[in-house]
Every structure is written in structure tokens, then in C-alpha cells.
Structure 1
Amino acid sequence: MSRRHPRSVVVELRNDSCSGCNVRLRQMLTTDIRRGEKIVQCESCTRILFVARPVPAPAPTR
């Protein structure tokens, strides 16, 4: 895989598309990615996909 994709093997799901190859994914795959219960690869480029989740702000200190 490193020869085909030397820069990144794990990429973000953006607008229901792989951010590595920009191919729109089937709804079943995007649902699986959002659930985060299993590792899902893009059917086109085979990169591993993830959904970025916002990091909660730290609680204010007194």
C-alpha cells in the first residue's frame, strides 16, 4: 500500500467521500464509518477511513 499511497493510508470521510481519492461512498459504508465499530476501507483506493469528531473544550479552571 505504501507504493500506491506514499503520503497517507488513513484519511477522513468528508461529505460522504473519501478525502484520499474523492470518490463518493455508498451509504452503507458511510454509516459503518460513522458508527466507528469496525475498520472500513475505501472501495476505490483501499485507504482506511475515519470521521473526525470534535474535541470537547477543557473545563474552565478557577
Structure 2
Amino acid sequence: MEESRQLDSFLWFSIGDFTKAIHFLKLAVKFYLILNYRRMRWKIQRIFLRFREIMNFILKIKNI
């Protein structure tokens, strides 16, 4: 009887640790995204600028 109670408490403990680990992972991902947000935004802006330049170039060729 005592063993099953210990096993139950151990299972609950591991489930609690699992939820804590998931919460910690979510926080870590948020922190990582916040840290890399500036760099990613800069890259995305560069990609959009390049895309706009290509579109303007295509429009110029069409006008000629």
C-alpha cells in the first residue's frame, strides 16, 4: 500500500516537473525571439527592399 502511494506521488511530481519544463521552454523561446527580433526584422526588411527593387526593375523593363 505504501509503495503505490509513493509511486503516485512520484508520478505527480514528474508531471509537475514536465509542466514546469514546458513553461520554461516557452519562456526561453520568447526570450530568444525577443533577442533575435531586431536582427530578423533587419533581414526581413532587406529581403522586402530587394523584392521591391526587382519589381521596380521589371516594371521599368515593361515600360521600355
* TM, length-normalised to structure 2: 0.23
* TM, length-normalised to structure 1: 0.24
Structure scoring higher RCO (CA < 8 A, sep ≥ 6) equals 1
Richer in helix (by share)? 2
Q: Greater Rg, structure 1 or structure 2?
A: 2
